[in-house]
Amino acid sequence: MKFSILVNEGPYTHQSSDSALQFARAVLDKGHEIYRVFFYHDGVNNGTRLTVPPVDDRNLQKRWSELAAAHALDLVVCIAAAQRRGVLDEGEAKRHGKGEGAANIAPGFRISGLGQLIEMGIQSDRLVVFGD
Amino acid sequence: MLHIVNKSPFQTSTLQSCLDHALAGDAILLIEDGVYAAIRGSAVAAAVTEAKGKVTFHALGPDIAARGIAPEKLIDGVTSVDYGGFVDLVAEHQTNQAWL
Amino acid sequence: MADVRRFLYINRKAPYGTIYALESLEVVLIGAAFEQDVSLAFLDDGVFQLAKGQDTSGIGMKGFSAIYRALGDYGVTKLYVETDSLATRGLTLDDLQAITFEDENDGYTEKPSIIPVNKAEMAKVMAEQDVVLSF
């Protein structure tokens, strides 16, 4: 079965990012497919490579990136929400004159529009929303 | 329909709203702070027990354990599921709705 | 279209205090281009989103209540509003702004987009969907 996941909250404040990650792992363990994970609102903060949590805490961005690498997941960060919150890829950093090296999108994530969220609602058998 | 509730019933009216809109045969899964609704003897336990005649109640085991709720403190008939069980519940129901 | 799904956007949060109402609206506007069967549900504090007379000039934020009135132009014409939620909050339908659409199947007659429903009817609307989105 094809699953998609929507994450509406940022990491470290609300449990929803952790819940979504645990759920995603379980979906894959059960032999299902994950069509896409979409990050919206503060959820886009899961996708910045600049977070440095204490060594004894989990690193959510890393967990997502590793899961994406292991299972070829499509992790999409909403462009409008990301720009508001300073999560940029190479192209967006350049376009907005933020200077060399400003891109902070983490490995395995890509930035795209809200159409990707609608599309995953159309293409997936199940869509599960995590938020506050 | 699978309803997913992640709010403490002592903090918001989300669970009550969910109960008001759940139809016979629906399932309700309590996750995150939502699992506090599964504690026996609480102020909302009667509402949960009454709704059990109409819907099935499930609560996410890892969230229950994380919050120090002992299994014997759960309301009878509330089924504890792990994340795999969460996935199964989603798969079994044509649609699901997160009561955010 | 071969694969038209019934999308329901659940609105249970008030505007301005948090961003969810606005960002839900943005998804609705983008989603309109996908020609799905779209409905919006307003219940609990979500009914405050439709209140008339919103003036955000003093809070430093852009008001967005006018966007609801434009939804008809995007083909979004089913706004289910729970009357129980209104009553609980001391409101009636008269406290909401008028939202209409031009019915292209009926000589472009102007019709109300707001569909008042009670709790039981709202439960039925929820049960009839393929994809339920909440923010």
Say how far apart CA B24 and CA B78 lie, in whole Å: 16
- The residue from A73, A76, A78, A93 that is catalytic is A78
Structure tokens at A17: 């990012």
CB count in 10 Å sphere of residue A69? 11
pLDDT at C1 over 60: no
Structural domain total, chain B: 1
pLDDT surpasses 90 at B8: yes
Is residue A47 part of the annotated active site? The answer reads no
For chain A, list residues with pLDDT below 50.
none
| Residue B58's CATH number | 3.40.1260.10
- CB contact at 8 A, A47 and A67: no
Mean pLDDT of C55-60: 97
- How do B56-60 and B27-30 pair as beta strands? parallel
Q: Say how many C-beta atoms besides its own lie within 10 A of residue B24's C-beta.
A: 7
Q: Which residue of A has its CA nearest to B2?
A: A128
**Are the CB atoms for B71 and B80 separated by under 8 Å?**
yes
Mean residue pLDDT across chain B: 97
Q: Are A129 and C31 in contact (CB < 8 Å)?
A: no
Average pLDDT over residues C17-30: 96
Say if CB B27 and CB B93 are below 8 A apart. Answer: yes
How far is C37 from chain B, CA to nearest CA, in Å?
Answer: 15
pLDDT in tens, C68-124: 999 999 999 999 999 999 999 999 999 999 999 999 999 999 999 999 999 999 999
3-state DSSP assignment of residue A107: coil
Distance CA A126, CA A1 (A): 8
Structural domains in chain C? 6-134 (3.40.1260.10)
Answer yes or no: is pLDDT of C46 > 90: yes
B 56-95 near C (Cβ less than 8 A) = 94-95
How many domains does the structure of chain A reveal? 1
The minimal CB distance from A26 to the residues B86, B98, B100 is found for B86
Note whether A40 and C22 are within 8 A (CB). Answer: no
3-state secondary structure of B12: coil
- Among residues of chain B, what percentage have pLDDT more than 70? 100
What pLDDT does C2 receive? 52
Q: Distance from A79 to chain B by nearest Cα, in Å?
A: 23
Quote the mean pLDDT of chain C. Answer: 96
Q: Which domain holds residue A22?
A: 2-130
C-beta atoms of B32 and A15 within 8 A: yes
Q: Quickly state the pLDDT bin for C3 (edges 50, 70, 90).
A: confident
What one-character-per-residue DSSP string does C66-104 give? Answer: HHHHHGGGGT---EEEEHHHHHHTT--GGGBPP-EEEEG
3-state secondary structure of C13: coil
Residue A19 burial (C-beta neighbours within 10 Å; 0-12, 13-18, 19+): buried
Q: Please report the number of interchain residue pairs, chain B to chain C, with beta-carbon separation below 8 angstroms.
A: 37
Chain-centroid distance of CA B19 in Å reads 10
CATH of the domain at A119: 3.40.1260.10
Identify the H or E element spanning A43.
none
> How many residue contacts between A and C have a Cβ separation below 8 Å?
47
Q: Whole domain around residue B11: which residue ranges?
A: 2-99
**What distance in Å separates residue A100's CA from the closest CA in chain C?**
30
Q: In what order do the strands lie in the sheet with C114-117?
A: C114-117, C79-82, C37-42, C6-11, C131-134
DSSP per-residue string spanning B41-80: TSTTHHHHHHHTTTSEEEEEHHHHHHTT--GGGBPTTEEE
Return d(Cα C36, Cα C131) in angstroms, integer.
11
